Amino acid sequence: MTRKHRRLVIVLACGIGLGSASALALNAFSSSMVYFMAPSDIAARRPAVGRPIRLGGLVQAGSLHRETVDGEPTAVFKVTDGKHTIPVTYTGILPDLFREGQGVVALGALEPGNVFKASEVLAKHDETYMPKDVADALKKAGMWNPAKGPAPPSSTWATASLKQP
């Protein structure tokens, strides 16, 4: 085994290691990349039923109630960005920081009948902090100009535009 041989073997091994790593990564990327969508985005471009997405917006004030579905307690609420709303169901314990009128990000997929079934609900922030994606979505929907102070509570927004599907 000469020095040249050894180098060749090491380079080959590196190639195989990194090659398989990138093959795995590319393969996994195509199937597990999850897009963030605000309710308006969903209204504009409806994603396929069952395709995992992250839905972000504010929990509409007064929309949260609980039901029992298949014997398991389920929270039902609406997520809004001021222009559109999406009804969301979530089975499980809502995070400690979940509150009406505050930002939320839900991971899940649309079900037949335009209901978003969440498998995970994230609201990990304090009352002054808003998830960046949600803040951007609110600005895009024209509901919040950060130069004019904090986001208004969703209960004060015109609800007329919220009735649209």
Partner 1 sequence: MIPELGNFALALACALAFAQAVIGIWGAHRRDVRLMAATPGLAVGQLLALAASAGALVWASVSNDFSVINVAENSAIAKPLLYKISGTWGNHEGSILLWGLILGICGGLVSVFGRNLPSALRARVLGVLGGTSAGFLLFCLTTSNPFFRDFPPPVDGRGMNPLLQDPGLAFHPPILYMGYVGFAVPFAFAVAALLEGRIDAAWGRWVRPWALVSWCFLTCGIALGSWWAYYELGWGGYWFWDPVENASLMPWLTGTALVHSSIVVEKRESLKIWTVLLAIGTFSLSLSGTFLVRSGILNSVHAFANDPARGVFILALLGLVIGGSLLLFALRAPLLRSGGIFAPVSREGALVLNNILLCSICAVVIAGTMTPPFADLLFGQKISVGAPYFNLTVLPLAIPVFIAMAVGPLLPWKRGRLWPLVEHAWWAALIAALVGGVCAFGMKLLPALAFGAAAWLIIGSFAEVFERTLLFRAPVANSVRRARGLPVAVLGAAIAHAGMGVTVAGIAGTSLDSNKIVEAKVGDSFSVGGYQWILLGLDDAPGPNYRARVASIEVLKDGRPLAMMKPERRMFTLQQQTTSDVAIRTNLFRDLYAVLGDERDGKAVLRLHVNPLAPWIWLGALIMAAGGALSLADRRLRVGAPSRAPKAALPA
* Binding flag, residue 31, partner 1 (CB under 8 A): yes
What does the alpha-carbon distance between residue 119 and residue 69 come to, in Å, rounded to a whole number? 14
* Binding flag, residue 54, partner 1 (CB under 8 A): yes
Interface with partner 1 by CB under 8 A: which range of 33-41, 42-50, 76-84, 144-152?
33-41
Give the total of residues touching partner 1 (CB under 8 A): 44
Interface with partner 1 by CB under 8 A: which range of 81-89, 126-134, 142-150, 153-161?
126-134
Those residues whose C-beta lies under 8 Å from the C-beta of residue 134, and which sit 6 or more positions away, are: 38, 56, 57, 58, 103, 104, 105
Question: Which of 72, 133, 121 is CA-nearest to residue 97?
Answer: 121
What does the alpha-carbon distance between residue 107 and residue 120 come to, in Å, rounded to a whole number? 5
Token digits of residue 149: 């102070």
Residues 136-165 that bind partner 1 (CB under 8 A): 136
Nearer to partner 1, 71 or 112 (CB): 71
What does the alpha-carbon distance between residue 29 and residue 77 come to, in Å, rounded to a whole number? 31
Residues contributing to the site for partner 1 (CB under 8 A): 1-3, 6, 9-10, 13-14, 17-18, 20-22, 24-25, 27-29, 31-36, 52, 54, 66, 68, 72-73, 91-94, 96-97, 107, 124, 126-127, 131-133, 136
